[in-house]
Amino acid sequence: MIAPAKLVHSRGVRFAAALGIDLAAPDAGERFKWFLAAVLYGARISESLATRTWWEFAARGVLTPHQIVATGWDGLVVILDAGSYVRYDYKTATKLLAASAALLHDYGGSLDTLHGIAKDSSDLEMRLKALGKGIGDTTVAIFLRELRGIWAKAAPPLSPLALAAAIALGYLLPAADTADRALPMLRQVWAADGQAASGFADFEAALVREGLRLRRLASRHPASVPRATAAGGDGPR
Confidence of residue 181 (pLDDT cuts 50, 70, 90): confident
175 and 104 assigned to the same domain: no
% of the chain surpassing 70 pLDDT: 91
Do 176 and 98 fall into the same domain? no
Provide the domain limits for residue 103.
24-145
Residues 141 and 199 in one domain: no
Per-residue pLDDT at 234 exceeds 70: no
Do 126 and 36 share a structural domain? yes
pLDDT of residue 229: 45
Is the same domain home to 67 and 172? Answer: no
User: What local confidence, expressed as pLDDT, does residue 232 receive?
Assistant: 45
Domain identity same for 120 and 39: yes
User: Is residue 71 situated within a structural domain?
Assistant: yes
Q: Are 167 and 139 in the same domain?
A: no
Query: Do 56 and 128 reside in the same domain of the chain?
Result: yes
The enclosing domain of 117 has a CATH number of: 1.10.340.30
Q: Are residues 137 and 174 in the same domain?
A: no
Q: Which of 158, 130, 153, 165 is nearest to 142 (CA)?
A: 158
Its pTM surpasses 0.85? yes
Of 88, 120, 145, the one marking the end of a domain is: 145
* pLDDT of 231 over the 80 cut: no
| Count of domains for the chain | 2
Q: 228: pLDDT confidence band, cut at 50, 70 and 90?
A: very low
pLDDT band at 223 (very low <50, low <70, confident <90, very high): low
Compute how many other C-beta atoms are within 10 angstroms of the C-beta atom of residue 58: 16
Question: What pLDDT was estimated at residue 143?
Answer: 97
- Tell me, yes or no, whether 91 and 35 share the same domain: yes
Q: Both 136 and 167 in a single domain?
A: no
Q: Let me know: does 63 contact 33? Beta carbons within 8 Å.
A: yes
Could you tell me if 52 and 124 lie in one domain? yes
As a whole number of angstroms, the distance between CA 172 and CA 160 comes to 13
Mean pLDDT, the chain, integer: 91
Residue 11 forms part of a structural domain: no
- Rounded CA gap, 60 and 58, in Å? 5
